[in-house]
Amino acid sequence: MPIGRRRNKIDRSLRERGVPPEPQVREREEEQTSGPWDEADAPDDGRTRVDLGPLRLPAVSGMELRVDVNAQQQVIGASLRSGESLLQLSVFAAPRAGGLWDEVRAELARGAGSQGGQLTEVDGPFGRELAGTVLISPALQPGQNGPVKPVRRPARFLGVDGPRWFLRGMLSGPAAADPGAAAALEAAFREVVVVRGTQPMPVREQLTLTLPPQAAAQIARQQAARTPGQPGSPAAGTPRPTAPGPAASGPAASGPAASGPTVPGSAG
């Protein structure tokens, strides 16, 4: 996405001689991105992408795409799984001036530290990111009652500031610590397209994702078949890490998320 400023530069000597100056426009300095992309700058690369409304995610052979829903069954995020590694994605409204990722990094690091984890700023393929450990609560096993002791797991947080949007990614599993295991998910993250829309939104408000009709019908069937009194939850034994933070929602925290359907066409 082109980013830059125009600035007029006028020859002071002309002004001193009383000659009306001609504004001289300096060439615009542009910083190009290689992804993730804003809708206006997305390449015509022929890549098949699954349309989730504000997010268009690449359909990658061998990679599973699942949606994440909150307690109100609203789609709040999406996850790409490659082997045992997971990339969780969420997108938020951001100020025109950008810079939200700088604030969120600090909040994430503080939140992880207060919960017993540790995240450190490092340079990554998308700029500054956070890497370290977070505490997660594994899902209850069948027949298991009572609280579950949190487990320390490696995690990486990626962030990209776009035109009035902020994209956050969280890598967990082997990809959080092994660059080789992270390569496929990093490549998928780079191919994400964000469709912010033109409607005004409060800064940090999460953009609501939508499902393709076939996937929406699948999750409706899952909800209808669910036993009353048993809220949606991840598959037993599958930990679902969420971003640490004091708030229940927003770029630096995640609300209760449950596994939704696998979106058709996302794996091959």
* pLDDT tens digits, one per residue of 6-41: 333 434 454 555 555 554 444 434 456 789 999 999
**pLDDT surpassing 90 at residue 110:** yes
Structure tokens at 236: 């037993």
pLDDT of residue 7: 38
User: For the segment 70-88, what is each residue's pLDDT rounded down to a tens digit?
Assistant: 777 678 789 999 999 999 9
**pLDDT tens figures, 181-233:** 999 999 999 999 999 999 999 999 999 999 887 777 776 777 778 655 554 44
Closest CA to 94 of 29, 163, 21: 163
Q: Please tell me the predicted confidence (pLDDT) of residue 3.
A: 43
Give the per-residue pLDDT at 136. Answer: 86
Domain boundaries, the chain: 37-262
- pLDDT tens, residue by residue, 129-144: 999 999 988 776 777 7
User: Tokens representing 128?
Assistant: 């500054």
* Res 172 pLDDT > 70: yes
